Structure 1
Amino acid sequence: MDVEILARIQFAFTIAFHYIYPPLSIGLGLIMVIMEGLYLKTGNKIYETMCRFWTKIFALTFGIGVATGIVMEFEFGTNWATYSRFVGDIFGSALAAEGIFAFALESGFLGILLFGWNRVSPRVHFISTIGVFLGSAFSAVWITVANSWQQTPAGYKIVGEGLQAKAEIVDFWAMVLNPSSIDRMLHVWIGAFLAGAFLVLSVHAYYLIRGRYVELSTKAFKIALGVATVFSLSQLFTGHRSAEYVAEYQPAKLAAMEGHFEAEGPADLYIMGWVDKESQTTTGIGVPGGLGFLLEQDFDAPVTGLNAFPEEDRPGQVNAVFQFYHLMVAIGMALIGLTLLACFFWWRGTLFEKKWLLWVFVWAVALPQMANQFGWFAAEMGRQPWVVYGHLRTSEAFSKVVTANQILFSLIGFTLIYILLAALFFYVLNKKIKKGPYDESKIDDRPLQEGIAEAVS
C-alpha cells in the first residue's frame, strides 16, 4: 500500500476506536444529571445510588476516551503535515476553545463528581455533575465545528500558494457557525445521548432479567427509555436537516449516499440496494423520485447526480458510502421502533413482563455505536477526494517525508495497544456491572432505602 492509503487507514482506525468513548461519556453525563436531579427533588436514596454507580462507569469511559484521543493530535503532525499547515489557523482556534471552554470545565468538576459524594453538599455535587456533563458536551461542539469547517468552509481566506497555502480566519464566528456546524453538532449530540441511554438500558435490562436490583433497575430503565425515545425521534429531524445541507453544499456526497448517477434527473430514495460504479447503476428497494420529494416535496424534482461532476471530483468508493449511509438510517429507524414498542408496553403496564424485549435491549447497546460509526464513515468517505472540501485534496494533504513502512509499523503498534485497551475496558466494565450498584447481601427485611444507604456507605 502507498503512504496515502496507509495514513488514511491509520487515522480511520484510531478515530473510530476513540469515538466509542466520548459519546458514552456525553450520554451518561445527561443520564447522571437526570438521576441526581431526581434524588435532590425526591430525597429517594435509590436515585443517589444509581447515580453513584453510573459515575464509576462514566469515569472509566472518560479515562479511555482521553487516552485514545491524544494519539490523533500527533498523527496530524506526523502523517498529515500539509493538511496541518493548511488548517492550522482554523483548527488551532477551535481546539484551543475546546481546551479553555470544555476540557477545563469538565476536568475541573470531575474530581468533585468522583470523590465529593460525602465531602460536599448534595447541591454542590449536583452542580459538579452538571459541569462535567456540559464540559463533555462542549468538547463535542468544538470538535464538530472543526470537522464541519472541512465540509463547508466559511470565515476564512487562503494565504500563500501550492504546498505553502493555508487558510486563515477572517471571521471567527462565521468559521464557528459555518453552514453545516449547527445541524451536525445536534446530530452528534443526539447520537451520544442515544449511546449513553442504551448502555443504561442494556445493563438494567440484564439486572431485571436476572432478578437483581429490581426496584432500582425499574426506575433507571424508565429514565433511560424516556431519554432514548425522545432523542431517537429527534434524530429524524436533525438527520433530515443535515441531508438538506449536504444537498446544497456537497451534492456529490449526497449523490453517492443515494447511488444517483444521472446529472440532472429524478432520484430514487433507496431503503436498501447495491451500487455498481462501473455500470453506473443502483439496484434495490426504493421509492421512485423519493429523494426529490424529500428535498423539494416534488417526486419529479431533478437531483444533481455524480455525472454532473468530473471523475476526479467524485467520491471513489460510492457503494461503501451508500451502504454506510443506509445502515445508519436503518439503525436509526430500528431504535425508534424499539423505543416506541417499549413505551407502548410501559403504558400498558406490562413492560417488565416482556423478557424477550428486555433481552433485545441487552444486545441493542451496540446499535447506537454502530450508527455513530457508520454515519462518520459515510460523511468522511463521501467528502473524498477532498480533505477540505473544494480546496485541499486528500492526495495532497499527507506528509511528504514519512514512509509507508513507518506508518505500517506504527499502525501495527497502535492496533496492539488498542486491543489491550479494549480488553481492559470490557474487563473493568464487566467487573463493575457484576458487582452492581450496592451489596445485595446487606439488604434484608428493612425498607429498601434504609438498606441501600447502609450498603453504599
Structure 2
Amino acid sequence: MDVLDLSRWQFGITTVYHFLFVPLTIGLSVIVAGLQTAWYRTRNPDHLRLTRFFGKLFLINFAMGVVTGIVQEFQFGMNWSAYSRFVGDVFGAPLAMEGLIAFFLESTFLGLWIFGWDKLSPRLHLAAIWLAALGTNISAYFILAANSWMQHPVGYRLNPAGGRAELTDIWAVLGNSTTLVTFPHVLFGAFVTAGAFVAGVSVWQLSRGREVAMFRGSARMAMVVTLVAAAGVALSGHWQAQIMTEQQPMKMAAAEALWDDETSAGFSLFAVGDVENGRNHVNVQIPYGLSLLATNTTDGRVEGVNDIQSRYEALYGPGDYRPVVGLAYWSFRLMIGFGVLAGLLALAGLWLTRRGRLPSGRWFHRLAVAGIGLPFLANSLGWIFTEMGRQPWTVFGVMRTAAAVSPGVDVTEVSITLAGFTLVYAALAVIEVRLLLKFIRIGPHEETEPAGAVPALTY
C-alpha cells in the first residue's frame, strides 16, 4: 500500500470507530432528558432512577465520543494537509461554529447537569440536560453541514491565484440541500440506536427479574422510540436517495449495480456483477422499485455506471470515476436490512409486552440484547456507503482524493500511526464495554429526592 491507501484506511477506521459513539450520544441525551422530564412532572421515583441509570451510561459513551472525535479532526492536518489547505476556508467555518456554539453549549450544560443535582432547582437542572441535548443535536448539524459540502459543494469560489476554495456564502453552506435531507436521516438513525440500546438493556434486566414494572415501562418506551424512528429513517432515506440521484448519480448507480441508463428501473435485491465488463450475470429485482425510489415515478430515468463514466470522462478528463461497486452495492443493502430488522424487533417487542404482559421466552431476551448492535451496524455501513460511494472524489467534482493526501508523510509514518491508533482504539473499546457492562449489571440505585426538590407546580 502507498501513503494514500494507508491514509484512507486510517481515516476510515478512526471515523467508523468514532461514529459508534455519536448516534448513541445524540439519541440517549434526549431519552435521558425525557425521563427526567417525566420525573419532574410526576415525581415518580422510578423515573428518577431510570434517569440516573441511563444517564451514567450516556456519560460513559459521551466521554469516549469526545476523545475519538478530537483525534479524527487532527487527521485533517496530519494525513490530509493538501485537503486542509485547499478547503480550509470553507470546511473550517461550520467546524468552528460547531466548536464555539454547539460543543460549548453541550459541555457547559452537561457539566451543570452532572454536578447540579443538589445545587440547582429541579427546573434549572432539567433545563440543563435539555440544553445539553440541544447542543448535541446542533453539533451534529454543523458537522453534517461540513460533510455535506464535500458531497455537494456550494457557497464558494475557486481562487486560481491561491489555488484554494474560498467561502462566499455561509448560509448556502449551512442550508445545503444535502444537509437538509442528511440531518433528519442521521437524527432518526440516532434515535433508533438509542431506543434499541435502552430496550435491550431493559429487557436484559427483565430477564433477571429486576424491577419488573419499571423496566417493562422503559422497554416499551424505548421500543416505541425505535419503531417511530425506524419509520423516520425510511422516509428521510427516501428523500436522501432522490437528492443523491440528482447530485451524485454515480453513487446511486453503484448502489444498485445499474450499469446503463434505464427507465422504469427495478430495485436490485441480489446481483452478481462483472465490474470489468460493466454488466450483471444475475440480478433479482423489484420491478420499477429504483425509479420509484429515485424519482417518485415508476417510469423515471436513472443513470447507469457505464454512461456516467463516459460523461465524467468528457467533463473531468480521463480517469476511472467508479467507486468500488461491490462495496457500495452491499453496504447499501446491509444498511437497509439491519435498519429494517431493528424496527421489526421493536414491533415484536411491543406485541409481546402488550396489556401488561412480559416476554416469557429466552429467545426474545437474547434477540433484544443482540438487537442493540443492529443500528450500530446500519449506521456504520451507511457512512461507509456515503464516503466510499463518493470516490474518487474528496470534494465531489472539485478535488480528487489522490490530490488531498499530505505530501510530507511517508509509508512508515502512516503505518506507525495506523497501528498505534488501532491498538489504542481497541483498548478504548474494551474500557467502554467493560464500564457499560459494569453499570448495567449494578443496575439503578435506590434514589432519594435531590436536596431542595419540591413539587413542580411551585416553580
The separation in 2 between residues aligned to 1:75 and 1:145, in whole angstroms, is: 19
Q: Does 1:41 align with 2:41?
A: yes
Deviation of 1:298 (Å):
4.0
Q: Does 1:222 align with 2:229?
A: no
Runs of 4+, deviation exceeding 6 Å: none
- Equivalent residue for 2:199? 201
- Equivalent residue for 1:184? 182
Any conservation in 2 of the 1:276–1:319 contact (CA below 8 Å)?
A: no
- Equivalent residue for 2:380? 373
- Equivalent residue for 1:395? 402
Q: Which amino acid aligns with 1:28?
A: L
Deviations, residues 248-285 of structure 1 (Å, cap 9, x unaligned): 11101100011000134443201233333123233343
Please identify, of 392-401 and 312-321, the stretch whose mean Cα deviation from structure 2 is larger.
312-321
Q: Does 1:125 align with 2:109?
A: no
Deviation of 1:315 (Å):
2.7
Q: Which amino acid aligns with 1:100?
A: L
- Equivalent residue for 2:61? 61
Q: Which amino acid aligns with 1:186?
A: P
- Equivalent residue for 1:294? 293
- Equivalent residue for 2:420? 413
The separation in 2 between residues aligned to 1:184 and 1:364, in whole angstroms, is: 24
Q: Which amino acid aligns with 1:40?
A: Y
Any conservation in 1 of the 2:223–2:347 contact (CA below 8 Å)?
A: no
SS in structure 1 of the partner of residue 119 of structure 2: coil
- The sequence identity of aligned pairs, in percent, is 37
Tell me how large the CA RMSD over aligned residues is.
Answer: 1.9
Q: Which amino acid aligns with 1:229?
A: L
- Equivalent residue for 2:315? none
Q: Which amino acid aligns with 2:220?
A: K
The separation in 2 between residues aligned to 1:218 and 1:297, in whole angstroms, is: 41
Please identify, of 278-287 and 382-391, the stretch whose mean Cα deviation from structure 2 is larger.
278-287
- Equivalent residue for 1:12? 12
Deviations, residues 207-260 of structure 1 (Å, cap 9, x unaligned): 001111212211211221121111011111100000000011110110001100
Unaligned runs of 5+ residues in structure 1 are 440-451
Deviation of 1:181 (Å):
0.5
Please identify, of 366-375 and 74-83, the stretch whose mean Cα deviation from structure 2 is larger.
74-83
Give me the TM-score of the superposition, normalised by structure 2. Answer: 0.92
The separation in 2 between residues aligned to 1:275 and 1:177, in whole angstroms, is: 38
Relative contact order (alpha carbons < 8 A, sep ≥ 6): 1 or 2 greater? 2
User: Which aligned pairs between 1:284-323 and structure 2 lie closer than 5 A?
Assistant: 284-310=283-309, 312-323=319-330
Q: Which amino acid aligns with 1:72?
A: Q
Deviation of 1:100 (Å):
1.9
Match of 1:231 among 217, 226, 229: 229
- Equivalent residue for 2:457? none
- Equivalent residue for 2:74? 74
Residues 347, 272 of structure 1: CA spacing in aligned structure 2 closer, same or farther, 3 A cutoff? farther
Q: Which amino acid aligns with 1:224?
A: A
The separation in 2 between residues aligned to 1:3 and 1:270, in whole angstroms, is: 36
Q: Does 1:149 align with 2:156?
A: no
Any conservation in 1 of the 2:268–2:285 contact (CA below 8 Å)?
A: yes
The separation in 2 between residues aligned to 1:433 and 1:299, in whole angstroms, is: 49
Q: Which amino acid aligns with 2:410?
A: T
Q: Which amino acid aligns with 1:166?
A: R
Match of 1:453 among 445, 448, 454: 448
Q: Which amino acid aligns with 2:306?
A: N
Give me the TM-score of the superposition, normalised by structure 1. Answer: 0.93
Any conservation in 2 of the 1:438–1:455 contact (CA below 8 Å)?
A: no
Any conservation in 1 of the 2:256–2:267 contact (CA below 8 Å)?
A: yes
Any conservation in 2 of the 1:56–1:114 contact (CA below 8 Å)?
A: no
- Equivalent residue for 2:314? none
Any conservation in 2 of the 1:267–1:292 contact (CA below 8 Å)?
A: yes
Please identify, of 43-52 and 213-222, the stretch whose mean Cα deviation from structure 2 is larger.
213-222
Paired residues, what number? 442
Deviation of 1:171 (Å):
1.1
The separation in 2 between residues aligned to 1:24 and 1:267, in whole angstroms, is: 36
- Equivalent residue for 1:273? 271
- Equivalent residue for 1:244? 242
Any conservation in 2 of the 1:270–1:287 contact (CA below 8 Å)?
A: yes
